[in-house]
Amino acid sequence: MAKYLIIGGHGKVALLTAPLLAREGHEVTAVIRNPEHAGDVEAAGATPLVLDVETASQDELASAFAGQDAIVWSAGAGGGDPRRTYAVDRDAAIRSMDAAEQAGVRRYVMVSYLGARPDHGIPEDDSFHAYAEAKAAADEHLRRSGLDWTILGPGALTLDEPTGRIRLASPESVGERRETSRGNVAEAIRVVLAAEHAVGHQYEFVDGEEPIVAAVAAS
């Protein structure tokens, strides 16, 4: 069984991912900033690790990553503050990738969003601009790294019950339905971690009719 570390361990996606991995016998560590969230993480089947990735150095992150088989980035500043958005979604994310390489952890899964790319088209006066810029920079750094990366780009996240079924899409082809259940994102994380052929791929998706395993295998 493997050792997985999830950054953003108290987020909704992470709390849904940890039980899926733990049920398979994997050892899951969840990085959290607030020690008061440790109980929720433990209830999800993960071991909490209190570490503020916004302020942690690359060396501190590498020390935390040592011995892990994969890193999953599922953190986010939450929007509203462009300065902190850049600090977390861009700078800390990039630092975590460099730390993973430093620690010898080659597998890295990034939870991004549908439409994340340098030419995202979000105007500067849009409140989403900072997040779009930050994610584009982080994703590009990951693609250019020496890591065995996978990028997941779900549509607008919901708390709908997971179906285990998605539709691979792009912002241009997505059609009317643009939502993705957080539970389906969690299942996608589980699937790509187990799939060697997912390395070097970016999967953008919304809720759909194709089983996640089949969608990942076919791409």
Q: What is the pLDDT of residues 1-54, one digit of tens each?
A: 999 999 999 999 999 999 999 999 999 999 999 999 999 999 999 999 999 999
Other CB atoms within 10 A of residue 84 CB: 16
Cα separation of 48 and 10, whole Å? 9
The domain spans of the chain are 3-218
174 pLDDT tier (thresholds 50, 70, 90): low
Indicate the pTM of the whole model: 0.95
Instruction: Determine the topology of domain 3-218 in CATH.
Output: Rossmann fold (3.40.50)
**Block residue for tokens 């209830």:** 43
**What sign does the dihedral 172-206-132-108 (CA atoms) show?**
negative
- Report the C-alpha gap between 9 and 33 in whole angstroms: 9
The three-class DSSP label of residue 4 is strand
